Amino acid sequence: MKIDKQNLIQGSSYLRSHEKQSFDRVNYIIENMSDNLAYIEEIKKQNLLNENDKQKILNKFKDRFRNYRSSWKNNPKEAYSNNNFKDYEPLCLDIETAAICDLACPHCYREYIITPDKIMNFDLYKEIIDTAVKWKVPSVKLNWRGEPLLNPKLSEFILYAKKKGILEVSINTNATNLSEEKANSLIESGLDLIIYSFDGGTKKTYEKMRPSRFKENKFEKVYQNIKSFNEIKIKKSKKFPITKIQMVLTNETRNEINQFFDLFSNCVDDVTVTQYTERGGNLDTVDASKRKTLQNYLTKNNLSNDTNFYVGADDKIYVSTGRKPCDQLFQRLMITFDGRVAMCCHDWGAQHCLGFINKRSFNIEKTIDELEKNIINKKKGFELLVNAKRPNKFNEPEKKISSLGEIWTGDELNKIRKIHQSKQLDKIDICKKCDFKDTYEWKKIN
């Protein structure tokens, strides 16, 4: 389908097709809840044969999902408004099943902050999932800084979560390793959502934006992997996983939105363009004329040259007029491969570490030392990481093992929430430098 840039809904953090066939993920999941593996496993566990009993359980699962998605939007607003931080539990755990990645994308933190080439062990993962189940956490995302398909046990990880009753299990992947065998395994594991990261509507742009660390990364192969996954899913008559693809809006991709939609509209459920978020590369996202318009506006209004801005898919310039509290502080926790806990997905490297759930995380400095040597020596696979530096330490919690519950309700995270509530985000180092669009108020200037 052909998508005109004017037919994209303008949002602070994402842009989506405005056409009638835009994918409604929430309704799709509710309508197809009987195919959710967590529901199927619950029916087996209760040994239910009566259709009325099955329907009651199915309705409970549907209600649970509705509540989860409603709470995702409403909990942060209510908590900040009511000054009540204790009655809200996390809605998602982002679990770093693999910190390693095979690409070296110029718009990724990995190129600027040293990131371990490690995977999570199954024992730690099971502890996290078991905690999530007791906590009734509805959703887990099985990646953060790395490529989850590089964990050879990923499908086992997914299946474990689904059999334990996790309502929604999702992953983000670059699809470079999405072979037919892995596709079959992921589909059978009960995965609910797979999100592809793919930048560009042409071979030239894609291969520029997504260079490989170890071997050539070819547009044709990855594109075919994504198409094949869809074909396998159709052949198996499976409703899940939902497939979504997203492209970051940069100077290179800005004029390829139509091509991007044309490439994937027939083989992916949901096609999305996301705003570029600064992650250390200082990539230029505007052309000379827009840069001039922006500079004139800043000068005329006596604003700093550091004022945050972005250019939407509608080619309009948006300038920040202030900060606002981050919703993530009441939505999710990030857990690294070794058991460090970070407060949000933009706290790359857990630079503002909230605590530890595993002793393995006490040895992270040794891991960073090894990686730093590899980068300095330009070891194979590290040649494109020459700009990566050691992560900062904005907070150093006591080296003791805590539970996720203790960290979620602990003094450190509540202190951060208080600061966000007062809209004084600049008092927190990691938040001051954050470019996450949803933490800013925006004004269109042209």
Q: Please report the pLDDT score of residue 435 as a whole number.
A: 86
Q: Give residue-wise pLDDT tens across range 158-192.
A: 999 999 999 999 999 999 999 999 999 999 999 99
Secondary structure class of 444 (helix, strand, coil): strand
What's the burial of 216, exposed, middle or buried (CB within 10 Å: 0-12/13-18/19+)?
exposed
pLDDT for the residue 8: 45
Strands 317-323, 309-311: parallel, antiparallel or unpaired by DSSP?
antiparallel
**Max mean pLDDT range (90-99, 288-297, 304-313):** 90-99
Q: How confident is the model at residue 20 (pLDDT cuts 50, 70, 90)?
A: very low
Q: What average pLDDT does the segment 42-55 reach?
A: 92
The predicted model scores a pTM of 0.93
Residue among 405, 404, 430 nearest 326 (CA): 430
Lowest mean pLDDT among 19-28, 266-275, 278-287, 353-362: 278-287
Question: Given this model, what pLDDT does residue 85 score?
Answer: 94
- DSSP result, 118-132: -B--HHHHHHHHHHH
Instruction: Write the pLDDT tens digit of every residue in 103-158.
Output: 999 989 999 999 999 999 999 999 999 999 999 999 999 999 999 999 999 999 99
- Report the mean per-residue pLDDT for the chain: 92
Number of residues that make up the chain = 446
Determine the Cα–Cα distance for residues 78 and 80; give it in Å rounded to an integer.
6
Give the position of tokens 């994937």: 264
pLDDT of residue 315: 80
Q: 163 to each of 176, 190, 254, how far by Cα in Å? A: 28, 9, 42
Compute the CA torsion angle 62, 63, 69, 70 (nearest 10 deg). Answer: 150
pLDDT for 421: 97
Residue 273 pairs with which residues in a beta bridge?
15, 247
Q: Quote the crossing angle between the two packed helices 219-235 and 180-189, to the nearest 10°.
A: 40
pLDDT bin (cut points 50, 70, 90) of residue 290 is: confident
Listed in sequence order, the residues at least 6 apart from 175 whose beta carbon sits closer than 8 Å to its beta carbon are 149, 196, 197, 198, 222, 225, 226, 229
Instruction: At 416, list the tokens.
Output: 């951060």
